[in-house]
Structure 1
Amino acid sequence: MATQIEPRPDTATRPRHVAIIMDGNGRWAKARRLPRAAGHKQGVEAVRRVTRAARDLGLEVLTLYAFSSENWRRPEAEISDLMGLLRHFLRAEIATLVADNVKLRVIGDYRALSADLVAMIDDAIARTAANTGPILVIALNYGAQAEIAAAARRLACAVRDGAMEADAIDETRIESELSTHDLPPLDLMIRTSGEQRLSNFLLWQAAYAELLFVDTLWPDFDGATLADALEVFSRRQRRFGGL
């Protein structure tokens, strides 16, 4: 039986929005002399655990970096395995998301995926659209630089068409064009496996987010690890440029 994680009482220091770069599936498998696909499969199990833990810990939004726009450079067989696991996750977890009042969101150009997978994603989004609880955001075929460039193009078109003046473009206006514009600001970004880079993930949103790099490989990440990360966050002093 899974351990129930008690929400922390110090709500003033609890992040509202946490994002995770899920890294280390391949190394987890290699250490056990297993194929990389086995690591990705265990990574999906970690997604299940952490999604439930995020709800229990009182997070409003959990954003997971599932597939970047650069991941297409991986071997075709590995990409096929990853897409197969995404299908499995959607089939297996959608009923739980509905029952737990979790709303699913997807950011990134997921419509570039196969037609059957796009249909599954659209169905999962629609089935959870009325949910009023925590939001699970999955980044699929996502790249932050592309997101910012797309926002700039939309604003440039608005100026060209006379819908706005160029001088009206400021940080708030750019942010309103991002895929996360209606979500709480990003408070904490975690990367697993010991790597210390953002890998083109939520670059704009992370401007004042706290960053936490942990050695835990993603398949070993669980509710207790997430709770530890929130505890570290609670001890950070966030000044947002002030004193």
Structure 2
Amino acid sequence: MHFTSSVRGLTVGAPVEYRGIRIGQVIDIKLELDLNEVIARIPVLIEIESDRLQWIGKTPDYDNEREFKKFQKHLWNQLVAKGLRAQLKTGNLLTGALIVDLDVYPDAPSQTIHWDKSYPELPTVPTSLEEIRNVLTRILEKLQRLPLEEIGEDLRKSLASLRQTAAETEKLTRTLNTSTLPEVTATLNRLQKTLAAAEKSLQAGEKTLITAEEALAKDSPLQRETQRTLKELSAAARSFRLLMDYLERHPEALIQGKTR
């Protein structure tokens, strides 16, 4: 297996564990120089101690080397397909010693074992610290690509426009309060008188229609028409009363309109 992060703290003889259970050990750590790609790698060779494993189900004939190798290859291919990966973890916080931990990562990118090398190569996953570092690096790269200067300039322009709008609104409010308020008050008084007169007329009309309805023949077409007209007049009277009440409580609605 190859690890992309530092292996400082990993030594020959370090435990190989599966979810906390020791199943083997590290038997070799080297520095490998690839002259074709001009890159350095650190292969870590581990040994799985088969006597620490308990098999359930049909097992191969250990004396038949060919059958046993075929079984091993199939087994490891299945485990890796399900997400088995190797990861460096801290085995001792005081000394900083590392171990190789095997575990299943179902969301890990699909990988396979390389059987064409001297030893089959098990895929690995980054350490937790390495993942955090990679995430932070990607965030910083995205921040560097953002047009921060242009965003700042647009923000300054927006704030300046907002301040100007606020000043103009305040000025307009003062103008309305000083020069327009007397005229608005007079208009409101005239409107209230007009609405009061209209309400009286509607009330008189209601009384007249009630009297007419009582005099008409029951269920006659004329009585039904009179009832319909009476309902319309009653609704209009209620609307006038509501309008007058609202304007008395909110005279500013003549300037600003009714609030929602």
How does the TM-score come out when normalised to structure 1? Answer: 0.20
Q: Whose relative contact order is higher, 1 or 2, with alpha carbons under 8 Å and at least 6 apart?
A: 1
Q: Write 1 or 2 for the structure with the bigger share of helix.
A: 2
